[in-house]
Structure 1
């Protein structure tokens, strides 16, 4: 084991490591560099966005032993940008350096069956769910779970690997379409809205929760986040408390996002978690005292969480490849950002990805104002302006 323990603060200019160099890894790297740290990024993509800012880019697979050995030798602490990284690699790294979050936490988030079971065992409310790993698992009273959503247990994100089903026949067909892989059947609930709470937990167990975000999706991908959320104070308090419960139950160190369904009666059910900074927390880059990426750095370095106070109401809109004219073709062109850039309280964040494709996350835009709903309407209008210019106007709701 390393002689550096999480209780010993790791200070600049120490080398930090991150598994993954996409947009989350990029924003982490910028935060760490701004705070005075050095950063090593492990990512097999030679054009990984984080590589532009990192001190070292190990262009190798996440289970490449030589690359892992180099990280273990050079990095005072290591984190991850996404949950589908190799958890065994994280556990191996933890033998010689501090890894935040632990590979065991990531393993739970990688598998919906384990995740849902964990929530239930922690005493948190979930929608009724059925684990389906073999055909005999379907020989139960399915009325408890239908109509529902069949979700693959692993590797599903942004609406992928999910099928809505109303009857047993539709369920069987959907399971076959998903190649009879391990799945969770989750009962559809009377949904009012969706919210998320992002908690930072330190090595000493101190927690700080960012203001709860109200999230709206389009075709399974997060579209707009609104803060403060349009929910009651009781819902916000319950979401923050549940996030702390999850983090504490896991013995978690780092930034953890918990997504919730708010039901018609204003009760909450836990949907899923992400053991990392989250798309719905990108508003923190401009609207809170400390960002979720600075919190990620602080947690992995054994420092207390920063102040997560909201400075001003904000709305965040995702910018997908859809707003690039000619996305996915040789004729792809950069959008005209003049309207967004002309807003005095607007902040454009582009991820530096080499190729724009439809439905690919290419950036986001934060707009601050005196009223969150007003700025949410404004960011949606600015996004729609870009979609129209790209020849992809959205249908009217």
Structure 2
């Protein structure tokens, strides 16, 4: 029987324990959308996590959706991230980066030459994003043409290659929280006809092709993916049949030999079993996926211990607890109290609420 604190090998990546730090957008990038020098210390402090999943990194200028998020597509961004990965590796940690394209969750002020955001359709959600003017309504998107999708897939491939040049141990493809790839998956958003719309197989085609391209570029053993079948983030309705959709998706991903699948259970940052939603059988997906299965969403220490001990999950990722507890692994091991989160310091700003949280010894 495995425990939360046992080592595990996921694909080609050997980890010291089964606790992951979930990707956490902090809006602290500097000019050029470079990883902030403060991020070097931030991630170094948290290197005792079995795996750090670094914050979502846009794969192109058109992938940007929020102010000051660090990209992974220019030589300067690669060099800035390299300082982070070197620091984590010096502490014995392992770190991957999340490859991110926000799709329609963006604003013209954030995109090159004031371009419109892109999505599977021109449907505009009622939601906001963070710009230099603060939180404002996202801009109306345009539907990507079929002939643009090979270039989009190439952007994911390029982002994966940049991640390896930056010293990451692998990548996690972001297909969750209603960003671009999930905008293609869900029939609540995808109104296309043709090869990338209509049937479940067509709606899943882009994600599958992206995953194939990334695996070809850096190896499946260094590639993971994140899914969120039941979230309504960004005011985005669920698919009409999420069990069938995500079951198909997992069946298509299973043969690729991915390192792991990272599943957000329930509402992102909310209830794991929302009262107003149909029940979703995550176990049915887990049984169809041969790689490591990582669960996420508000797990307590007791729940995380049980999830791994029972075999329901191979790993558990923690988000906000890692913000205010750089030594979260030790605190979970010793059942020590957790430092509360300073919610007003989550986004933007400098060192306060970023690299100054106390360690247990302090």
TM-score clears 0.5 = no
Q: Could you state the TM-score of these two structures normalised by the residue count of structure 2?
A: 0.31
Q: Which structure's CA Rg is the greater one?
A: 1
